[in-house]
Amino acid sequence: MWPLYAAGALGPYGSTMVTPIVQEAALGLGTRPEFASGAVTAYMLPFAALMLVSGTLAERWGRGRMIRLSLAASVLACLLCALAPDLNSFLAARALHGATNAFTTPLLVAAITDSTPRHRLGRTMGRFAAAQAAGQAFSPLISGAAALVDWRAAFAVPALCAIVLVVLPADPSVTARRATGRPTWSALANRRLALACALSFLCYLAAVGLTVLAALRSEDAFGLGPLGRGVVGASFGIAGLLLADACGRALDRFGPHRLGAIANALLAAGLLTAALGPSAALLLAGVTMVGVAVTALRSTVNALAATSAPANRAGASSLALSAQFFGGALAPLLWIPLYSTAPAPGFAATALAPLTALAVLGAVALHATRPVRTPPPTGRSRDRPEP
């Protein structure tokens, strides 16, 4: 199953690989950093939009085939990003890059869920979250190092990884669909999936805001260069990578609702530390806390979504991931203007997202504890004693 975990790293890698090299990319493309940062949104919007339908369609077309085609298309997208002569071409290539991953990640979650016993699902999702955290960890570090030579070289790494995975795909028995019957859209209309989508959206609204604003604050407040910004960004994924197995075990032990509450509380604390900490060390500490929280939330959301619709696992996973990346796409548009107006309060405002998630989880818990009202008996049965 290792190709599924390896492929799982490419989505997060692509989403954040531009953040530590925004200044260098802007200079190379002849534009301003504010405009170059739109590459994050350009990647996430088609990623999120296509995942509204990609999971269900790919379930019908075949998981293994779609994974290979998507990986091959991502190689082309990386090449176009590296060769882009101007901002518009670069943003278009980034949009293609996001579109290719829309047909990969949800199928990976579905295949892993189908291949795992239910009592070990948390640990398995923890491993997948570790792979995603690895992509998030090494993405800014590799991009920051590449920018010391040429920022365009950063796109060589995901392209080479995708080529390897096309040549060495997962075993067909792993990617085979287990459910019988045609995957339907109606199977996706359930409360469990709605909760997964809400948590996913709010998590990435905060997390992507952190990755962008932490890179800006690293330079504005502490004068860090591209490699220093890369190290700060890498701490996000490294922390998640190191604790992903523990997060998966916690999911098996506590369940998605309790773990979701703990993770969102940690996420809010990390965001406030990164935003208001007076030193680069506290910024690094805040980013690390957020990395652990997001890894726990990834495991939680993936487990909630994939188990919400057994007949259409990829469709359910794609909807939750779509919500996640819609949140990520909105993040720069929402938080950068606030940061530009007032850096510290604007950055700290990102904590509103996990606080909202805590309120949602509280409402779900309250609803679950309410007694179910049954209508009074009618007719002659009114005189019968209750069982």
Nearest of 25, 1, 103, 167 to residue 314 by alpha carbon: 103
pLDDT of residue 382: 45
Nearest of 40, 39, 46, 105 to residue 71 by alpha carbon: 105
Dist CA 313 CA 177 (whole Å): 9
Dist CA 194 CA 260 (whole Å): 14
Size of the chain, expressed as the number of residues it contains: 387
Which residues touch 308 (CB under 8 Å, ≥6 apart)? 188, 190, 192, 193, 196, 316
* Residue given tokens 């996913």 in the structure block: 200
Tens place of pLDDT per residue across the chain (387 aa)? 788 888 888 887 887 788 788 888 888 888 888 788 788 888 878 887 888 888 888 888 887 888 889 899 999 999 999 999 999 999 999 999 989 888 888 888 888 888 878 778 888 888 888 887 777 777 877 888 888 888 898 998 899 989 998 888 877 777 777 666 777 888 888 999 999 999 999 999 999 899 889 988 998 888 888 778 878 877 887 888 888 889 888 998 898 999 999 999 999 999 999 999 999 999 999 999 999 999 899 889 988 998 898 888 888 988 898 888 788 878 888 999 999 999 999 999 999 999 999 999 999 988 877 665 655 555 554 444 444
- In contact, 67 and 169? CB cutoff 8 Å: yes
Dist CA 95 CA 35 (whole Å): 15
Angle CA 242–244–248, to nearest 5:
150
Nearest of 36, 47, 215 to residue 140 by alpha carbon: 215
**223-239 burial, b for 16+ CB within 10 Å, e for fewer?**
ebebbbbbbbbbbbbbb
pTM: predicted TM-score of the whole model, two decimal places: 0.75
pLDDT of residue 210: 92
- The burial of 369, by beta-carbon neighbours within 10 Å (0-12 exposed, 13-18 middle, 19 or more buried), is given as exposed
